[in-house]
Amino acid sequence: MAIYLNNNVGIKLATAAAPTTPSIDISAYVTNAVINQIVDELEVTSMGDSAHKFVAGLQSATFSIDFINDWAASQVMQTLNAAFGQTLSVSAITVKGTAVSAANPSYQFTILVNNLTPLGQGGVAEVATSSLSFTVNSAVTVSPTVAF
C-alpha cells in the first residue's frame, strides 16, 4: 500500500460544451477524492468442484469528491451547474506535478452529474464546501502514458 503525505491529487473535469475533454483543472479546490472500483462476481462452479469458483464480470465504480466551492468563471460550481443532468469526462492523477508513469498513472472515466450542492456547506464567514458522490458511467481506465 502506498501512502501519500501532502497528497497533491489532480482532478480535471470536462465542460458541458465539450463533455469528452477534461479541461477544467479543479485540483486546487479538492480536499479529498476517492475512486472505488468493483467488479461483479460471476459463479462458474461446475459439477465435481470442491469449492465455489468465480470470475470477474462487469465493472462498476463510484467517484467521491470533497471540494471547496468556487463560483468563478470556468471553475468548480460553474462547471458542475452547467453539466447538471449530463455526462462528463474526468481525468485524475494521484500526484499532480509529477510525470505520468506506471507508479503515478492517470485515470479516465465519465460521470453522470446527477447530484449537486450548489450552496455548499459552511456557516457565515466559513469556507463553503461540498461533498459529492457520483456513479461512474463507464469503465475506469488506467494509463501510465495519458498526460494529465
Who contacts 146 (Cβ-Cβ below 8 Å, separation ≥6)?
91, 100, 106, 108
- Per-residue pLDDT of 2-42, as tens digits, reads 444 456 889 999 998 999 999 999 998 898 899 999 999 99
Query: What are the helix (H) ranges across 36-129?
Result: 76-83
d(CA 80, CA 125) in angstroms, rounded, equals: 23
Question: Of 67-76, 91-100, 109-118, which gets the smallest average pLDDT?
Answer: 67-76
User: What's this model's pTM, rounded to 2 decimal places?
Assistant: 0.81
**What is the amino acid identity at position 134?**
F
Give the chain's mean pLDDT: 86
111 pLDDT more than 70: yes
What mean pLDDT do residues 109-120 have? Answer: 84
d(CA 35, CA 37) in angstroms, rounded, equals: 6
* Buried-exposed string 15-44: b where 16+ CB fall within 10 A, e elsewhere: bbeebeebebbbbebbeebebeeeeeeeee
What mean pLDDT do residues 58-80 have? Answer: 87
d(CA 91, CA 79) in angstroms, rounded, equals: 15
Per-residue pLDDT at 57: 95
d(CA 66, CA 146) in angstroms, rounded, equals: 24
d(CA 86, CA 83) in angstroms, rounded, equals: 5
- Per-residue pLDDT of 79-96, as tens digits, reads 888 999 999 999 999 888
